[in-house]
């Protein structure tokens, strides 16, 4: 199977070379890799330009500078790159952020998963950040693929309409959940990971501000209030301890009080909440089973 990659990069001079080195070292190279310079004011474009002669399958697409950093910009940049792929036979299309890195066999591994299962629409792996491992720290589970590195079967990507521009964010989440709602399999395969060099959502802002925005996003993407309570409680145990969870809660409540406009359809919101309740029940069943085992162990020890 062949694949193409698209990267939307804005002021990523600190990390983009690590991403480039990861891609050019792959055991299976992409047919094309379009790097969209989304109005950078630093040396992002110059760094990419150094690799163009040695790797002619890399293309640099420049977009005009924007005054604000909007999540809709990622969708517009990706869609502009997709337009340049017309006429090219593509099996898999990947969105790759400009601040990730992975081992040489990474892409070949994910492509093999697509080859093995024709119903697989979106695939990827868990990821690590400094002090964070999505395999154990994320609430999403194996049926979700994180935004920094998402690979889509191209027919699935076309069916869901690609990335839908939303200024507040969640474009990659909407794409994944729409694919699941429409019957495609979505899978994060734990055998491999990629590394995300910047904590998600912290570009040009701090950790608390990012968590507040995540709380807003949890609301406007239709997340259940019940689910949010458990998510906040769990987040309070992670750095920044207590205050991180409070920022997440405040973001959700602030968005609810403002009745922040939701970019998701009622159908997708209902699907999302059903999935959250399924996961929550599974978590609670697991916790109860551990408690029963502990009680049995204590009772046995006392005999």
Average pLDDT, the chain: 91
Give percent of the chain above pLDDT 90. Answer: 74
Determine what percent of the chain falls in helix, strand and coil, rounding each to the nearest 5.
Answer: 45, 15, 40
Confidence at residue 169, expressed as pLDDT on a 0 to 100 scale: 76
Confidence label for 139 from pLDDT (cuts 50, 70 and 90) = confident
User: What's the rounded mean pLDDT across residues 95-121?
Assistant: 98
Say how far apart CA 16 and CA 60 lie, in whole Å. 13
Confidence at residue 29, expressed as pLDDT on a 0 to 100 scale: 98
HEC profile of 45-81:
HHHHHCCCCCCCCEEEEEECCCCCCCHHHHHHHHHHH
Whether the pLDDT of residue 297 is over 60: the answer is no
Whether the pLDDT of residue 227 is over 60: the answer is yes
User: What's the rounded mean pLDDT across residues 234-255?
Assistant: 94
Residues 6+ apart with CB under 8 A from 108: 26, 27, 28
Neighbour tally for 17: CB within 10 Å: 17
Say how far apart CA 78 and CA 75 lie, in whole Å. 5
Whole-model pTM?
0.86
Helix 207-220 vs helix 243-257: crossing angle, to nearest 10: 40
Cite the residue boundaries of each domain of the chain with CATH code 3.90.550.10.
3-196
Confidence at residue 69, expressed as pLDDT on a 0 to 100 scale: 58
pLDDT tens readout for residues 167-218:
767 899 999 999 999 999 999 999 999 999 987 655 556 889 989 999 999 9
Say how far apart CA 285 and CA 50 lie, in whole Å. 54
Q: Which of 48-62, 73-87, 261-275 has the highest mean pLDDT?
A: 48-62
pLDDT tens readout for residues 8-38:
999 999 999 999 999 999 999 999 999 999 9
The CATH architecture that domain 3-196 belongs to is Alpha-Beta Complex (3.90)
């Amino acid at each position: 199977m062949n694949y193409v990659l698209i990267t939307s990069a804005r002021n990523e001079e600190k990390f983009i070379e690590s991403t480039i080195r990861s891609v050019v070292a792959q055991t299976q190279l992409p047919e094309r890799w379009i790097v969209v310079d989304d109005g950078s004011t630093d040396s992002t474009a110059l760094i990419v330009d150094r690799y163009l002669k040695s790797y002619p399958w890399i293309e640099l697409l420049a977009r005009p500078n924007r005054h604000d950093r909007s999540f809709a910009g990622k969708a517009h940049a990706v869609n502009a790159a997709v337009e340049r792929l017309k006429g090219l036979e593509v099996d898999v299309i990947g969105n790759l952020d400009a601040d990730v890195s992975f081992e040489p066999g990474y892409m070949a591994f994910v492509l093999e998963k697509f080859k093995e299962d024709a119903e697989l629409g979106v695939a990827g792996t868990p990821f690590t950040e400094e002090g964070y491992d999505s395999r154990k720290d994320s609430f999403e589970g194996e049926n979700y693929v994180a935004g920094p590195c998402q690979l889509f079967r191209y027919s699935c990507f076309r069916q869901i309409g690609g990335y839908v521009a939303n200024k507040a964010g969640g474009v990659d989440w909407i794409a994944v959940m729409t694919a699941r709602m429409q019957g495609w399999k979505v899978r994060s395969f734990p055998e491999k990971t990629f590394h995300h060099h910047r904590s998600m959502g912290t570009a040009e802002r701090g950790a608390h501000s990012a968590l507040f925005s995540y709380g807003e996003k949890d609301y406007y993407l239709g997340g259940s209030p019940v689910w949010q309570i458990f998510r906040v409680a769990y987040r309070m145990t992670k750095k920044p301890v207590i205050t991180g969870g409070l920022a997440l809660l405040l973001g959700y409540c602030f968005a609810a009080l403002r009745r922040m406009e939701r970019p998701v359809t009622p159908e997708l919101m209902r699907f999302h909440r059903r999935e959250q309740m399924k996961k929550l029940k599974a978590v609670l069943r697991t916790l109860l089973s551990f408690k029963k085992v502990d009680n049995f162990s204590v009772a046995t020890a006392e005999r």
